[in-house]
Amino acid sequence: MRFATVILALVLLLLLLAESAVAKSERIVSLNLCADQILLELAEPEHIAALSFVARDPYLSYHAAEAERFPVVRGSADEVLLLHPDLVLAGTMSTRATVNLLRRLDVPVLELPVAQSLADVREQIREVGAAIGEAVRAEALLAALDARLAALAPPVGAWRPVAAVYQTNGHTIGAPSLIDDLLGQAGLINLAPRVGLGVGGYLSLERLLAADPDVLLMERYWPGAASLGQTLLRHPALQHAIAQRPTLFVPSRLWICGGEFLAEAVAFLADAARAALDVNDGEAP
């Protein structure tokens, strides 16, 4: 253990020496929710010129309260250019016209793909850290995340309850995906791959009830939102199923993006695994 600590200290020292030779980005603009989260965990506040407007949404953004301190943009090229950024963070699935124009104008852009695993999250944190001159801080954040995840790891050989993620219109999350990885970290088995669904798909209520998962994981949505897609979630048969097994309402902000807060998501999900075991009087069914 002491040897590992020494090695980590040496790595951080080498990164610090390398980082001292790299100029930090002074004006960073983020156009993507998940880039917002990483940027807020790594960058000095004075170096953040703007975040995406979604960064302030408390239902989607873990750091929504902190994001209130910064200007926001909706993703148009003109509003970004007016901020004179020396680095723009974007997602590979959004703001394509803006990204293409910024690149034609030689504005540095770092694009982050959708993270499909904790390994992807770690890579993106390191990539952003290197791009903004905060590699040491990125490694420290990852060390803290890994330590928290190690403390939450289920015992070897422990029973792993089957969990169903059930969202608006019966949408569920399969694999590979960040959510699937988080379920595994928490000691849960994702139902979706077991019933032949890939990264995402729709699970009928009948199929869900027939699968009889040990745990239901449902997302909380905007209070009072008028959505036909949510009527399924109020179906009497689903409400009966909720009453018969551990059900957790997972805040979207905990698991749709990457950051040190993912340890909180795993802790939340681990509570569901323990609840399923309690239902069976401490023994696997």
Q: What digits encode the pLDDT tens for the residues 255-275? A: 999 999 999 999 999 999 999
pLDDT of residue 32: 98
pLDDT of residue 20: 47
Q: Is the separation of the CB atoms in 131 and 249 below 8 Å?
A: no
For residue 206, the number of C-alpha atoms closer than 13 Å in the C-beta half-sphere is: 0
pLDDT of residue 81: 97
What is the pLDDT of the chain when averaged over all its residues? Answer: 90
CA distance 199 to 222: 24
Q: What is the pTM of this model?
A: 0.87
Pick one of 3.40.50.1980, 1.10.8.60, 3.30.420.40, 3.20.20.100 as the CATH number of 2-149: 3.40.50.1980
pLDDT of residue 200: 80
CA distance 233 to 158: 31
Q: Is the separation of the CB atoms in 246 and 187 below 8 Å?
A: no
pLDDT of residue 21: 46
Q: Is the separation of the CB atoms in 131 and 111 below 8 Å?
A: no
CATH code at 162-279: 3.40.50.1980
- Going from N- to C-terminal start, the domains of the chain cover 2-149, 162-279
pLDDT of residue 143: 98
List of the chain residues with pLDDT < 70: 1-23, 220-227, 280-285
